[in-house]
Amino acid sequence: MSEVQLVWPNKDLLLYASGSSGYEWVDPSKRRTLQSAQLEHLGTERMDGENILAIGDGLDVLEAIGARTDVFRDGIRLVYIDPPFNTNADVRQYNDMMNRAMWLSMMRDRLNALKPYLAENASIWVHLDDAEVHRARSVLDEVFGEKAFVASVIWQKKTTRDSRAAFSTNHDTILVYAPSGPRKWKTSRNLLIKDASHLVNKDDDPRGPWIDAPFTAPGYRSAQQYKIKTPSGRVLGPPRGRSWYATEPTYNNLLEDGRIWFPKDGDGSPRLKLFSHQLRGLVPFTVWGSTDTGTNDDAKRHLMALFPEKDVFDTPKPESLLERIIHIATNSGDLVLDIFGGSGTTAAVAHKMRRRWVTAERNAQTVLDFLLPRMKHVTAGTDPGGISDVASWKGGGNFSVVHVPPRIGKSDQIEALQAISQRLPDLRLRGKHSYVA
Ligand SMILES: C[S@@+](CC[C@H](N)C(=O)[O-])C[C@H]1O[C@@H](n2cnc3c(N)ncnc32)[C@H](O)[C@@H]1O
């Protein structure tokens, strides 16, 4: 434990969700007296290996999914959270005015709860502004250790100037931690692609867009001299003075894995498909400009295009910001977690980038208005905005919806939960809290 620590009232207590939007301090010795975290499936029950949209407090959701499913089995590779910043601002969809001690315990307890489920090469990205970022960094040091600190990323969130303010704040901070430490984590993170515009998905590969390179290597290597048959039936050897790029068994594996591309409608020489994470690129800077990663207003415009009839969600993050984070921190198939789901940017981008995802959102109305319909658009291929183009996203995949009721008090979100259930196909209610007639 570090010699220097932040202190706050009730730090020795735990903070559990109570009812739909409150919190309650709980003495750790009395934790066992709380009812255990329940998990109710809405719609088709298909949990393991699935993407999950959970309606409930992040801590309850982590405990319920961790205890009752296999979903965290392979470890969470990336945690991105964008919690209420505690700015005292009037936010339409949630309370952003928590007592400071409660906010700190709320963060610490949820970070502690996800810690056991992290993969070895995981990273945790916490998106905040100046209201709490300095205190949150102390909390993160406490939970993961000071040596787990990797970077503090400055994201340019807007391009317009507020002329009434002392300073026109135009950035948020994203704190990045890796429990394995920055040196080890660096060996598994991805570099930024120099120019993504030349990646194209010529064969609708579910892993995303790619570029192709010749499947040859310089010089004569006997193990790399063999015949390759093109789909059109031509039998080819490597060009004179060169070898194929890999030995025959490796070539066969690559072919089976869909990593070999034959141009000219299957008549050309074989080429190796390279996805973004396989390209040598650039070490990310810690200052991210809006040209590369978008602004809050870009995110709002995307949501307004998807839901023209709704009041805009107040604090969405742009898909291009999440695209960069998910690209750096994960590979296709890895599990991404966000327990402050909001309008669902993390889940949407993870899905379009062919990652698995779990997201939790406490406000059922936000799920009904934004998160659920957004994910339905993403899976149906009817969301042309955000990163759909660059990810060559045309729809597909699935997700489960679960409700995790608060462990203290009762949910008063019955109407929104009912409406969510009605919007899911193949409704099957489980668990003892049957709130649907
Ligand atoms: C800043 S917003 C997240 C915005 C999101 N990144 C996006 O792009 O839309 C924070 C969200 O966390 C939700 N929230 C607050 N406390 C929560 C908790 N304890 N568990 C789960 N969700 C919570 C709020 O309802 C709100 O929707």
Position 236 pLDDT exceeds 60 = yes
Cβ-count burial of 120 within 10 angstroms (0-12 exposed, 13-18 middle, 19+ buried)?
exposed
My answer on whether 253 and 287 are in the same domain is: no
My answer on whether 265 and 222 are in the same domain is: yes
My answer on whether 221 and 176 are in the same domain is: no
My answer on whether 154 and 231 are in the same domain is: no
Specify if 180 maps to a domain: yes
Specify if 91 maps to a domain: yes
Centre of ligand 1 from the C-alpha of residue 342, in Å: 4
My answer on whether 210 and 246 are in the same domain is: yes
Q: Say what the pLDDT of residue 431 is.
A: 39
CA-CA distances (angstroms) from residue 160 to 284, 297, 305? 25, 10, 21
CA-nearest residue for atom 20, ligand 1, is 57
My answer on whether 311 and 200 are in the same domain is: no
Residues above pLDDT 70, as percent of the chain: 94
Model confidence band, residue 433 (pLDDT cutoffs 50, 70, 90)? very low
Q: Select from 248, 275, 302 the last residue of a domain.
A: 275
- Ligand 1 test: best mutation among 321, 362, 368, 374, most atoms within 8 Å of CB? 362
Closest among 139, 227, 226 to 175, alpha carbons compared: 139
Report the domain count for the chain.
2
Centre of ligand 1 from the C-alpha of residue 106, in Å: 13
Closest among 58, 70, 353, 309 to 205, alpha carbons compared: 353
Question: Which residue in this structure is represented by tokens 């390759």?
Answer: 228
Specify if 5 maps to a domain: no
Position 276 pLDDT exceeds 90 = no
Centre of ligand 1 from the C-alpha of residue 74, in Å: 25
My answer on whether 168 and 38 are in the same domain is: yes
State the average pLDDT over residues 8-21.
95
Specify if 32 maps to a domain: yes
My answer on whether 93 and 151 are in the same domain is: yes
In angstroms, rounded to a whole number, what is the distance separating the alpha carbons of residues 56 and 47? 16
Q: Say what the pLDDT of residue 90 is.
A: 61
- Ligand 1 test: best mutation among 361, 368, 369, 374, most atoms within 8 Å of CB? 361
Is the CB of 295 within 6 Å of ligand 1?
A: no
Q: Select from 252, 275, 298 the last residue of a domain.
A: 275
Specify if 432 maps to a domain: no
Under DSSP, is residue 189 helix (H, G, I), strand (E, B) or coil?
coil
Contact 391, 2 (CB under 8 A): no
Q: Say what the pLDDT of residue 306 is.
A: 96
pLDDT tens across 67-122, in order?
988 999 999 999 999 999 988 766 676 766 788 999 999 999 999 999 999 999 99
Residue 218: in which H helix or E strand, if any?
Answer: strand 216-218
- In the chain, the amino acid numbered 172 is D
Specify if 436 maps to a domain: no
Q: Select from 223, 252, 275 the last residue of a domain.
A: 275
Centre of ligand 1 from the C-alpha of residue 309, in Å: 22
List the single range of 143-157, 184-198, 262-276, 284-298 with lowest mean pLDDT.
184-198
Position 49 pLDDT exceeds 90 = no
My answer on whether 33 and 165 are in the same domain is: yes
Is the CB of 316 within 6 Å of ligand 1?
A: yes
pLDDT tens across 365-387, in order?
999 999 999 999 999 999 999 99
My answer on whether 209 and 239 are in the same domain is: yes
My answer on whether 47 and 86 are in the same domain is: yes
Specify if 6 maps to a domain: no
My answer on whether 314 and 381 are in the same domain is: yes
- The residue among 36 and 229 whose pLDDT is bigger is 229
State the average pLDDT over residues 305-327.
94
Centre of ligand 1 from the C-alpha of residue 36, in Å: 23
Query: Which of the 8 DSSP states describes residue 159?
Result: -
Cβ-count burial of 222 within 10 angstroms (0-12 exposed, 13-18 middle, 19+ buried)?
exposed
Model confidence band, residue 425 (pLDDT cutoffs 50, 70, 90)? low
Task: Give the residue numbers spanning the domain of 214.
Answer: 196-275
Is the CB of 57 within 6 Å of ligand 1?
A: yes
pTM of the model: 0.85
Specify if 3 maps to a domain: no
At 318, which CATH number? 3.40.50.150
pLDDT tens across 136-192, in order?
999 999 999 999 999 999 999 999 999 999 999 999 999 999 999 999 999 999 999
